[in-house]
Amino acid sequence: MSERMGFFTDTSVCIGCKACEVACKEWNQIPDDGFVFNATSYDNTGALGASTWRHVAFIETFTGDGEGGWLMASDVCKHCTHAACLDVCPTGALFRTEFDTVVVQADICNGCGYCVPACPYGVIDRRERDGRAWKCTMCYDRLRGGLEPACAKACPTDSIQFGPLDELRERAERRVETLHAAGREDARLYGADPGDGVGGDGAFFLLMDEPEVYGLPPDPVVTTRDLPSMWRWAAGAAAAMLATAALSFTRRGGR
């Protein structure tokens, strides 16, 4: 396998231009989302979904003294180290590439939808038109051609950075230190810790507030972590039932 590649999204320099959304849709030929603005935001895509693989959120914030502002962040599939979507896919439509990213093969997906609730981030979605699951591929076709993903290429402020994951993590840590030194104590990394509940994300973020403010789970956990123990308990229960049934038949036969 090649060196693991990933995204580092620095929300502190995101200007909300949505160039990443447009580039993603154009390159991957993704349908539009209706061009209808939400009532509380300058946002016509709303959230990640089958037809939105990069989503720029506009989050209005208010402080106790009445002051407010905007937080802007470009969200994307996290390409988890421990990806539950891979665990539950019955057809092999989801696979891990040589770049250690997670991709859905649309021509193999049978539309069962098991991957949708399995994702701890709520990223994967099925398209109403055909029922198949879709999400960010980190532009797998571009990576194989030696190109960076379309969203990173289009970002005018380098809010979205692409490269070897280890290098991105080091760069992100230095960026947090710089922001802290400048008095931005709220700056923090999200998804960069290999010891978290999903083994770290292949797409991680620098946030300027708590994860919940951005609609992200504070402590994501791979949803299939308990499957081995559940299967052991199920096997034990089945064995106990068979033993009870066998004992019952044995007793009847001895009468």
Domain ranges for the chain: 5-224, 226-255
Q: Which of 205, 201, 212, 155 is nearest to 176 (CA)?
A: 205
Annotated binding residue 89:
yes
Annotated binding residue 139:
yes
Annotated binding residue 14:
yes
- Name residue 58's beta-bridge partners: 72
Question: What one-character DSSP code corresponds to residue 14?
Answer: -
Annotated binding residue 12:
no
CA distance 38 to 72: 15
Place of tokens 């010891």: 195
- Name residue 95's beta-bridge partners: 103
Confidence at residue 230, expressed as pLDDT on a 0 to 100 scale: 41
Annotated binding residue 80:
yes
Annotated binding residue 188:
no
Assess contact for 124 and 115: CB atoms under 8 A.
Answer: yes
**Segment 119-149, tens digit of pLDDT:** 999 999 999 888 999 999 999 999 999 999 9
Share above pLDDT 70 across residues of the chain, in percent, rounded to a whole number: 83
As assigned by CATH, the class of the 5-224 domain is alpha beta
CA distance 70 to 57: 10
**Segment 93-126, tens digit of pLDDT:** 999 999 999 999 999 999 999 999 999 999 999 9
**Segment 228-252, tens digit of pLDDT:** 544 444 445 555 567 666 666 666 6
Backbone φ and ψ for 249, nearest 5 degrees, come out as: -65, -35
| Statement: residue 43 has pLDDT above 90 | no
Annotated binding residue 199:
no
**Segment 61-96, tens digit of pLDDT:** 876 666 678 899 999 999 999 999 999 999 999 999
Annotated binding residue 85:
yes
Annotated binding residue 115:
yes
CA distance 211 to 39: 23
Annotated binding residue 24:
yes
Task: Tell me the whole-structure pTM to 2 decimals.
Answer: 0.84
